[in-house]
Amino acid sequence: MTPITEQNVLITGATDGLGRALAHELAAQGATLILHGRSAAKGEELIEELRSATGNDRLSYELADFSSLEEIRGLADRIVATYPRLDVLVNNAGLGVELERQVSKDGHELTFQVDYLAPYILSCRLAGLLAESAPARIVNVTSAGQAPLDFDDVMLERDWDGGQAYCQAKLAEIMLTIDLAEQLEGTGVTVNALHPSSYMPTKIVVHLFSPQSTVAEGVEHTLRLVTGTELSDVTGAYFNRSTRARAHAQAYDPAARARLREISEDLTGVVFSG
């Protein structure tokens, strides 16, 4: 495994919550960080905060609004064009349980786009760079809250529910994890997903739920998938915190995953590819 001081790590959703705390930990360990967010002001604040706290100046910030497929694709293209290597992609950015149905700039149900289609695009478009940098890892931050997709109404136009929107998007991300692990077998790129911790006190939680765990717990479990040497050869797995676990049954249905890949390609214009 490449020493962390020689790794380039991309963290999406790095300006708040788990992503911000993970950035602090990895910056302190000496990683080169590519930090993503959708606010230029928050990005500048984060970079200064990390430099001051850790002394690490190998930090950059990439702006992209995941409500736009064009901006997600643009982020992937900039990473490939700008950085000679990518050792870890942490797909962390996401919405929580929303109170009202929203649509993206592309007309898609917003939670599905931000929580699933963004990781799909980034993972597919960055797979080549990750393979060239191998050993490398993709870490998908998902949830123990999972619900099966109705492929006839993925955008929940008939019966939208915030819980269903969140839980189906997180299950879709686990399905992507399994497919990518199979696709990238033999390249030196591992792909794993985790539920980092339950109801951490982050902005996507506190407006609806009482916190039950700390952000530090979530960072500990996520960091293990990023840097843990014992997981070097583990791929296609779902972890509940630090324990390998079984996801919802639909994740292990090859026909369901094939249907999801077809829908993903149609919605994003990005062909599933490793």
CATH fold label, 4-268: Rossmann fold (3.40.50)
Given a cut of 60, is residue 261 above it in pLDDT? yes
Instruction: Out of 166, 199, 238, 252, pick the active-site residue.
Output: 166
Confidence band for 202, pLDDT divided at 50, 70 and 90 = low
What pLDDT is recorded for position 214?
87
Given a cut of 80, is residue 198 above it in pLDDT? no
Find the mean pLDDT for residues 69-95: 98
Instruction: Please confirm, yes or no, whether 166 is among the known catalytic residues.
Output: yes
Token pair for residue 269? 């214009």
- The three-class DSSP label of residue 20 is helix
Number of Cβ within 10 Å of residue 44's Cβ equals 11
Number of Cβ within 10 Å of residue 23's Cβ equals 27
Contacts of 211 (CB under 8 A, 6+ apart): 199, 200, 201, 205
What pLDDT is recorded for position 212?
58
Token pair for residue 49? 């905060």
Given a cut of 90, is residue 121 above it in pLDDT? yes
What pLDDT is recorded for position 1?
81
What pLDDT is recorded for position 273?
76
Given a cut of 70, is residue 180 above it in pLDDT? yes
What pLDDT is recorded for position 200?
60
Rounded mean pLDDT of the chain?
94
**Separation between Cα atoms, residue 187 and residue 200, nearest integer Å:** 34
Of 19, 72, 65, the C-alpha closest to 40 is: 65
